A and B are shown apart, each in its own frame.
Chain A
C-alpha cells in the first residue's frame, strides 16, 4: 500500500464519518420535548392539547423513585423537564441542575392552590419558581378489610407481628423512614445522629415482618388483590385502582397522620426545548388534564380548575377534598429532609439486614 492509497482510504473514512454524523445529528436535535417523570405519569391523557398542537411531540422516560432520578440527572442525563417531588427541590437546586420557570408564561398559575404556590423551596424570586406544582396525594396504609379486622387507625399496623410476612412497604426515603420517624417520635425533617439511630431501630424492628420493600405498585396491588399481602404502604392511586376492581380494601387514616406530598415540573438548566416545555406545562395545568389525574388515579391536582370539573360525589368517593388545606390539617406534609443522604444510606443498610 503506497501513500496515495492510504490517503484515499483516509478520505473515504472521513467521508463515511461525515455521513454517519449527518445521520446521527437530526436524531439528536429532534424537536421533541424530553420529559423525565414518575412511571404512570406519562399518560397522553394528561396533556391532550399539547399533543394536538405538537403531534408525537414528547418523549417521556420514567423512574420509580425520585432519588434515583436525581442521580441519573446528576450523572449526565439531561431531559428538558423532570417531575420530582417538592421535598427534593432544594437538593436538585443545590447541584445547580435547575433553571427558574417564569410564572408569567404559565397561564393557569393563578388557579394553583396558594398552599402549593407558596412553598418555600420553590421560590426563585422575581415572579419565578423552581417547580410548578402539578399533583399532590397521600401516602398511607392500604389494607384488606376482610383480612385485617378493624385495625386501630395507626401506622403501627405495618409493625404488627400478627401479620408478619404479609406486609409490604415503599422503598423510598420520603415514605418508610418518614413514618418510622413519626412512630419513633422524631422529626422526619431534621434529626440529630441519635435520633437517626432511633429511626434505624424502628426500621430494623419492621424488617423481619416484611414481604418486600418495593416501589413496584402494580405488584403490590396484585398481591393485595390475591391476599398474599394484607396491608401495604401505598399512594392513593393504588386505593383507587383496587376499589375499582372491587377488592375489599380501605385506605387508612392513621392517627399519626397520612403523608401528603406534592410534585411538579422542573426545568433543567440546559433544557433545549424551552418553548415546548412551557406549552407542555400549560397543557398539563388545564382543568381537563387535572381532571384525568383525579378520576384515573385519585390524586389531587394542584389546580383548582381541575377540581371544578369533578362532581362532588366523585370526590367524596375518592376521599379527596377539593381543598388541599383541609387535608393538610390532619396530615404530615413531606417537606425537604435535611438528612436525606444519611437517611438514605441508613435505610439501605437496614434493608440489607444491618
Chain B
C-alpha cells in the first residue's frame, strides 16, 4: 500500500495545535521515563544517602555520617581504586582486542561483512550468566584450560590461579563487553574517508604511517566511545566478581549490593553509590577532554 505524492500534498496543513499535541505526544514517554525512572530514582538515592539507618525504608533523620564513614575509612577508597583498576584493565583489554576485529570488518571483510557482524553479536543471544558460567567451565581447576595444559604436558598439576582471581574477572568481563567495543570502533573506521588513504598511498606513505597518521586519529572518537561504554558499567559490576572472582576481587558494586542486602544498611549503600557515581563522572569528564582533542563531535 503506498501513498501517492499528490495525496500527501492534498492534506490540509497541520494546525499549530495539532503540531503541539504531536510534539507533546512524542516527547511525553521519554520525558516520563527520564523523570520517573532516572531522575526520581537518582533523587531517592541521593536523599537516602543523607539519612540515618533506623531500619525503615526512607531512614530516620538527616545526617552526613554515611559520607563521612565512606570517605574516612580507607577500605572504601581501596575497593573503589580496585574497581577502577579492574575496569581499566577490562577496558584496555577489550579495546585492544576489539580494534583489530573492527579494522578487519571495516577494511577487509568484503562481502562477508554482514555475516561477520552478525557473528560478533551472536554471543549476546545467550544470557550474561550463561557466558560467565562458560568461563567458569574454561577456567576451573578441572576445566578446559587446565586439562589442555596438562594433556599438552606443559603443566603437571592443575593451576589454581585461573579461577577465583581478579584475572578471571578481567577475562570474563572483557569477553562479555567485546561487542560493545567492536561496534563503535567499526562505525568510526567505516567513516574514515577512503580518499585520504588513497592520497597517502599515492604520496608513498607506508601502511604503518597511514595507520598512525590517518586511520588511528580519525577513529579515535570511536575508541573513546568504546572505552566509555565498557568502563562505566564494569566499574559497578558485582555479578562477575561474585561468580568468578575470589576474596581479592571484591568490587565496589559488591559492597553496595551487600549494604542493600545482607548488611541491611540502605542509606550507607546509597551514599556509596553517590560517591561511585561522582568518581565515574570525574573519569568521564577527563575522557571527554581527551576526546575533544581528537575533534570528536560528541
Contacts and interface: CB of A to CB of B under 8 A. Distances in A.
A54 interface: no
B254 A352 contact: yes
Contacts of B163: 228
B262 to A, nearest CB: 4
B263 A345 contact: yes
Contact of B262 (A68, A211, A228): A68
B57 to A, nearest CB: 7
B247 A212 contact: yes
Contacts of B259: 348
A333 B258 CA distance: 26
Interface string B233-267: 00000000000001110100011001111111100
B142 A70 contact: no
B258 A348 contact: yes
A63 to B, nearest CB: 10
Contacts of B264: 67, 70-71, 74, 341, 344
A65 B74 CA distance: 28
B265 A213 contact: no
B75 A67 contact: no
Nearest to B15: A1
Interface string A325-351: 000000000000000010011011101
Nearest to A68: B261
A348 B262 contact: yes
A228 B248 contact: no
Given A352-B79, A353-B75, A213 B261 contact: no
Contacts, number: 81
A71 B260 contact: yes
Nearest to A219: B136
Contacts of B202: none
Which size bracket describes the interface of B in this complex?
Answer: 20 to 34
A223 interface: yes
A95 B75 CA distance: 31
Interface string B56-88: 010000000000000001110011000000000
A227 interface: yes
B235 to A, nearest CB: 15
A349 B74 CA distance: 11
B17 A353 contact: no
B18 interface: yes
Interface in A94-113: 95
B98 to A, nearest CB: 31
A75 interface: yes
Contact of A75 (B57, B73, B250): B57
B270 to A, nearest CB: 13
B252 to A, nearest CB: 9
B164 A211 contact: yes
Contact of A226 (B55, B75, B141, B258): B141
B78 A353 contact: yes
What is the predominant secondary structure among interface residues of chain B facing chain A?
loop
Contacts of A172: 262
B48 interface: no
A207 interface: yes
A1 B21 contact: yes
Contacts of B17: 1
B160 interface: yes
A25 B262 CA distance: 33
Interface in A143-190: 165-166, 172-173
Contacts of B78: 353-354
Contacts of B79: 352-353
Contacts of A90: none
A210 interface: yes
Given A352-B255, A353-B248, A228 B263 contact: no
A181 to B, nearest CB: 17
A211 B246 contact: yes
B140 interface: yes
A349 B268 CA distance: 13
A166 B18 CA distance: 71
A349 B79 CA distance: 10
A212 B164 contact: yes
Nearest to B73: A354
Given A71-B261, A212-B247, A213-B247, A349 B18 contact: no
A215 B74 CA distance: 27
A212 B246 contact: yes
B49 to A, nearest CB: 16
A16 to B, nearest CB: 15
13 contacts: A70-B264, A173-B262, A212-B246, A212-B247, A213-B247, A227-B142, A344-B263, A344-B264, A348-B259, A351-B250, A353-B78, A353-B79, A354-B75
A-B CB proximity, top 10 nearest = A354-B75, A228-B141, A226-B142, A352-B250, A67-B262, A348-B258, A68-B261, A344-B263, A345-B263, A226-B141
Interface of A: 1, 65, 67-68, 70-71, 74-75, 95, 165-166, 172-173, 207-208, 210-213, 222-223, 226-228, 341, 344-345, 347-349, 351-354
Interface of B: 17-18, 21, 55, 57, 73-75, 78-79, 140-142, 158, 160, 163-164, 246-248, 250, 254-255, 258-265
Given A70-B264, A166-B160, A228-B160, 12 more contacts: A1-B17, A67-B261, A210-B246, A213-B247, A222-B140, A226-B140, A227-B142, A341-B263, A344-B263, A345-B265, A351-B247, A354-B74
